Amino acid sequence: MAIATIRLKEYKSEASPTEMAVIDFILKNPEETSRSTIYKLAEKTFSSPSTIIRLCKKNGYSGYKEFSKDLLYEQAIRLNYKEKNISDLTRTDEVEEIVRKVTHKNILSLEETEDLMDIDVIKASVEEMLACEKLSIFGIGASLIVAKDAQLKFTRINKMSYVSEDWHTQLLMAKNMSEKDVAMIISYSGQTKEMITCAQVAKENGAKVISITKNEESPINKIADYSLYVASSEFSFRSGAMSSRIAQLNVIDILYTSFINKKYEQSLEILEKTQIKKERE
């Protein structure tokens, strides 16, 4: 499967100055490029057709024709996604089509989630996590997987955090919170009954509440002090959380990296100390 712009971004660090100019133009003007001839693109980038062909071949294409076809397909998928017309998974889909649909859906979900990021909310959330005594993380089902990932990350840098697979234990965690603590509630729908209860109890006990939900009004983000959103982009055929889980993990990575950056030198020391080195056989 080819994703033209991703291939170019990955190759960029190896590109020559001339190739770099071509790549920058394509990434800034993907739609225009997908409809341009090789000669027009060469003129726009002050390069030559042979340079463009070599660039395409270095990125796994037979030539510019195959590259522009893939770029055109990618732009069509992006346009359909933005207009909410991206085709759902169907019973007749071949594996190749499933790979394309799921991968593009995940990539585009991340891009839309980026657009939903409120920098001030991220900064405030990180400050609360830095100052709190206890970070309790809540999630059920697929969101529990994300909660456990967050716990592992923050525990590694010595920000002790707590999560439980059992909902009754999560409720006990919420009941034992105080104004010195932070509750992170992860729920794609924002309407999971158990998570609403945990958010309410934590808030009643004075804890600050950070929610990670889809970008629609929900009971949980109404309770939260700080609301972070992921794209509402799951397939109708939702046998399990897919793009939503990827987007939630991305939000956790943003919070975690921002947290580390606030205590940069100290975090580097802790990361080195907590690295579990594997013996080579």
CB of 248 within 8 A of CB of 210? no
Distance CA 214, CA 20 (A): 37
Q: What is the mean pLDDT of the chain?
A: 86
**CATH code for the domain defined by 115-273:** 3.40.50.10490
Q: How confident is the model at residue 212 (pLDDT cuts 50, 70, 90)?
A: very high
Pairwise pLDDT comparison (94 vs 153), residue with the higher score: 153
pLDDT > 70? residue 65: yes
**Which of 108-112, 129-133, 199-203 is the least confident region?**
108-112
Q: What is the mean pLDDT of residues 249-272?
A: 84
Q: How confident is the model at residue 171 (pLDDT cuts 50, 70, 90)?
A: very high
Answering whether pTM is above 0.75, one says no
pLDDT > 50? residue 1: no
pLDDT > 70? residue 238: no
Q: How confident is the model at residue 214 (pLDDT cuts 50, 70, 90)?
A: confident
Domain ranges of the chain: 4-83, 115-273
Pairwise pLDDT comparison (132 vs 91), residue with the higher score: 132
Q: What is the mean pLDDT of residues 181-188?
A: 96
What is the pLDDT at residue 278? 64
pLDDT > 50? residue 60: yes
What is the pLDDT at residue 98? 80
pLDDT > 60? residue 87: no
What is the pLDDT at residue 81? 56
What is the pLDDT at residue 277? 66
141-160 pLDDT, tens digit per residue, is 989 999 999 999 999 888 98
What is the pLDDT at residue 233? 60
Inter-CA distances, 153 with 1, 144, 158, 262, Å: 32, 14, 9, 15
111-121 pLDDT, tens digit per residue, is 778 878 889 99
Helix pair 243-262, 142-156: axis angle to 10 deg: 20
**CATH code for the domain defined by 4-83:** 1.10.10.10
Chain centroid to CA 87:
21
Q: Which of 20-24, 106-110, 114-118, 277-281 has the highest mean pLDDT?
A: 20-24
